[in-house]
Structure 1
Amino acid sequence: MTDTVAQQTEGARPGVTLGQLGLGSGRLAAAHAVMNEAEAVALARARWSLDVVAATRLATEKDDTFRLDTSQGERFVVKVAHPDEDDGEVAFEAELMRHVHESGYGVPVPELLPSAGGRLLEPVRDGAGRRRLARTMTFAPGIPLDATGTSAPERERVGEMLARLRHATAGFRHPADDRVCAWDVRHLPALHPLLDDVPDAAQRQTLATGLARYTDVVVPQLPSLRGQVLHNDFSTSNLLVDHDTAEFVTGVIDFGDAVHTAIAVDVATALLNQLPRDAARRPVPDLFAEARDVLRGYLRRTDLTETELALLPHLVMGRVVARALITLHRASLIPGNTTYILRNTAPGWAQLAWFLDRTPDEISTTFL
């Protein structure tokens, strides 16, 4: 990507509320009557004319997603948005996926299938009578990256794929691309009220300390960072891989957190997901030992400025704080989905301790 495409990103928006972030009483806080497998089969048959014989629910945070198996042995995925999801934002995600698929950068995203009516998004009524938007796409091959180990060269392939995705999304714009996303750590200070939802006093104080450091070190520099539309959730659960292929990454899925944000924020999310999950049991001198491989591959295909490299580890810390605050809050509101919501929360306490055991200046030199 050239510097002429990258734009300066705005910093944290003043006055952003939990409701705007989809928290509090907003969209991400809401449970809904889930769609069942029979509904998914009927939907795919009626709207996409697919001869579906079985549907298998896939674990998700807030929508209903199913793997579809057809009588011809083909596989597809149908995703039905949360009833409270904004139509414009769902359209943004769908159009972005199509743009990346057609970009020519070789990013293996699922291909959206037009419905029998020629639409990428189909408005439907679920069994509870609520209007929702549905989309169907090809089933990406491979196994989830969070279900397997990786070698250093494979992690470099992950970084290269993130860079290719950055190039693919660089020129994309949409009226909803500036949505306010809870997982965009530019808005981390707005999550401060969620400290009240942390039941453990020691953990609450740790998160408050991390939040204060982020506010002091990162927030003043956010307006200087380059920005564009980005995936913003390049996590191990959103990457499909195959150890026997040269590319290694065979699928990039879930554009649900895509947004126009800082390039460094996008990279920080990818690095976060390479941190050791057992740092509490097995303390490490370098929390980024494996994440450096991802960054090395990324920088082989694109660039980061010295300012971005200095802020990058602080942004990773900010994502650790955000993950704890958001997941603990949502688990308290939707107890029926706590296993999925909290699946990555516990490892974050030791990761956050690693950051706070070091001075901000020490953290800033991590990648310099």
Structure 2
Amino acid sequence: MAPTVSDDIDGAANTTADEMLDRLGLGAGSLAAGHVVMSETEVSALVRECWSLDATATRLATEKDDTFRLDTTTGERFVVKVSHPNEDPGEVAFETELTQHVHDSPHGVPVPALLPAADGRALVPIRDEAGQHRLARLMTFTAGTPLDSTGSSPRERQRVGEVLAKLRHATAGFRHPADGRLCAWDVRHLPALRPLLSRVADPAQRKVLTAAFTRFTQVAERVLPDLRTQLLHNDFSKSNILVDHDDPAFVTGIIDFGDAVHTAIAVDVSTALLNQLPRDAAQRPVDDLFTDARDVLHGYLRFADLTETELAVIPHLVMGRVVARALITLHRAALIPGNTTYILRNTAQGWGQLAWFLDRTQDEISSALL
């Protein structure tokens, strides 16, 4: 079983709150910190030199690295990602190799393929114009509309669940020295984010987050150590799912393995279900927060199993992910004020979602998917 925060962080007798955040990648000197971004002109020159591509670069919105769509003179499209200067090279290699592993697997998950540079390497070490040491990788471009930019029918949401199940099977056999890394977005480690509660500026928001945080620790921590684990994508959000309503498969691409980690299967599913919750729950309260998410779950269960224990704890993990999202994004927005719009794009919806959870008993939440 992969280490949990209680094993790896909270057990350290003299670990300070800031040291805990550093180990989860949330310290002031970590990936939460800003960096000098690359210009589109600089990236175009980079791919010309390393991949012999004559292309125009267009920046894509991301949280930590520099990502660009490339349009070549011959009409082809690619994506180039340049890692954050503070990102661990071993973790970048892990994400890169995992992406290619899933692409090559027999499970039919649509993910980009890595394209080697002229010297044969998939990851190219560079020093950018600002003097920052980074790693660049080139991938095929996956056509489709991000799911967070369009709607979906019940059948289409079932397709999303089917792909998540296939992705679970595709990642199951992969091993890498970095696959046991600590990830702040793995809600098994939510207890280690406790120091961030005191840094929430709004008293009303802090009160809600504290109540939900306490609820999570009362319920989920009792179950988490015994849940099945494996290597998983861990970020099956609508922004990472590309779709085409005219394609029978619906899902045309899965991107961004940046949060992949060895974690609980239930955690991976809870992340996917979270991203199907209504965004306007505060303005339009609903009796069943999981109406759309249940479609995803039904599709998932066609290709992968979940135990009754996992089904009971998943709604609590969803709530925990809402808490983690608020704490992490509010913290990162304070550290990187220039990227606030992107970082906080999904935070506001969480207040209505948390109200739904806190208005119900623990037993009611446990039975939401049973």
Structure 1 counterpart of 2:6:
13
Match of 2:328 among 326, 329, 333: 326
Amino acid aligned to 1:195: L
Structure 2 counterpart of 1:248:
250
SS at match of 1:293: helix
**C-alpha separation between the residues in 2 aligned to 1:185 and 1:82?**
23
Match of 2:46 among 25, 40, 43: 43
**C-alpha separation between the residues in 1 aligned to 2:235 and 2:143?**
19
141-150 vs 26-35, greater mean Cα deviation: 26-35
Contact 1:164 1:301 in 2 (8 A): yes
Cα deviation 1:119-177 (Å, max 9, x = unaligned): 11000011110100010000001110000000000000000000000000010110000
Give ranges in structure 2 of 5+ residues lacking alignment. 11-19
Match of 1:22 among 15, 22, 25: 25
| Change in CA separation of 1:11 and 1:222 when aligned onto 2, cut-off 3 Å | farther
1:207 pairs with 2:209: yes
SS at match of 1:13: helix
Structure 1 counterpart of 2:76:
74
**C-alpha separation between the residues in 2 aligned to 1:141 and 1:192?**
40
Please report how far the alpha carbon of residue 86 of structure 1 lies from its aligned counterpart in structure 2 after TM superposition: 0.1
**C-alpha separation between the residues in 2 aligned to 1:64 and 1:310?**
39
Amino acid aligned to 2:300: Y
Amino acid aligned to 1:252: I
Contact 1:9 1:225 in 2 (8 A): no
Structure 2 counterpart of 1:91:
93
Structure 2 counterpart of 1:290:
292
Amino acid aligned to 2:42: E
The number of equivalent residue pairs is 360
Structure 1 counterpart of 2:179:
177
How do residues 180-199 of structure 1 correspond to structure 2 at under 5 angstroms?
180-199=182-201
Match of 1:56 among 48, 55, 58: 58
Give me the TM-score of the superposition, normalised by structure 2: 0.96
Contact 1:9 1:226 in 2 (8 A): no
Contact 2:28 2:335 in 1 (8 A): no
Cα deviation 1:189-242 (Å, max 9, x = unaligned): 000101122111011011011111111110121111111110000000000000
SS at match of 2:248: coil
Contact 1:145 1:241 in 2 (8 A): yes
Amino acid aligned to 2:123: L
Please report how far the alpha carbon of residue 11 of structure 1 lies from its aligned counterpart in structure 2 after TM superposition: 4.1
**C-alpha separation between the residues in 1 aligned to 2:255 and 2:155?**
22
**C-alpha separation between the residues in 2 aligned to 1:243 and 1:174?**
36
Contact 1:225 1:264 in 2 (8 A): yes
Structure 2 counterpart of 1:273:
275
SS at match of 2:120: coil
**C-alpha separation between the residues in 2 aligned to 1:83 and 1:157?**
37
SS at match of 2:291: coil
Structure 1 counterpart of 2:360:
358
Amino acid aligned to 1:67: R
Structure 1 counterpart of 2:16:
none
Identity of aligned residues (%): 72
**C-alpha separation between the residues in 2 aligned to 1:252 and 1:63?**
18
| Change in CA separation of 1:305 and 1:26 when aligned onto 2, cut-off 3 Å | farther
Cα deviation 1:4-26 (Å, max 9, x = unaligned): xxxx5554434251111111224
**C-alpha separation between the residues in 2 aligned to 1:209 and 1:285?**
21
Contact 1:11 1:222 in 2 (8 A): no
Structure 1 counterpart of 2:13:
none
**C-alpha separation between the residues in 2 aligned to 1:11 and 1:137?**
33
Contact 1:232 1:257 in 2 (8 A): yes
Amino acid aligned to 2:6: R
**C-alpha separation between the residues in 2 aligned to 1:284 and 1:217?**
23
Structure 2 counterpart of 1:229:
231
**C-alpha separation between the residues in 2 aligned to 1:138 and 1:13?**
40
Contact 1:93 1:256 in 2 (8 A): yes
How do residues 149-168 of structure 1 correspond to structure 2 at under 5 angstroms?
149-168=151-170
**C-alpha separation between the residues in 2 aligned to 1:115 and 1:98?**
15
Structure 1 counterpart of 2:136:
134
**C-alpha separation between the residues in 2 aligned to 1:77 and 1:366?**
40
Amino acid aligned to 2:206: R
Contact 2:186 2:234 in 1 (8 A): yes
Give ranges in structure 1 of 5+ residues lacking alignment. 1-7
Cα deviation 1:89-141 (Å, max 9, x = unaligned): 00000000010000011100000001111011000011110100010000001
**C-alpha separation between the residues in 2 aligned to 1:11 and 1:343?**
28
SS at match of 1:33: coil
SS at match of 2:135: strand
351-360 vs 8-17, greater mean Cα deviation: 8-17
Amino acid aligned to 1:19: D
284-293 vs 220-229, greater mean Cα deviation: 220-229
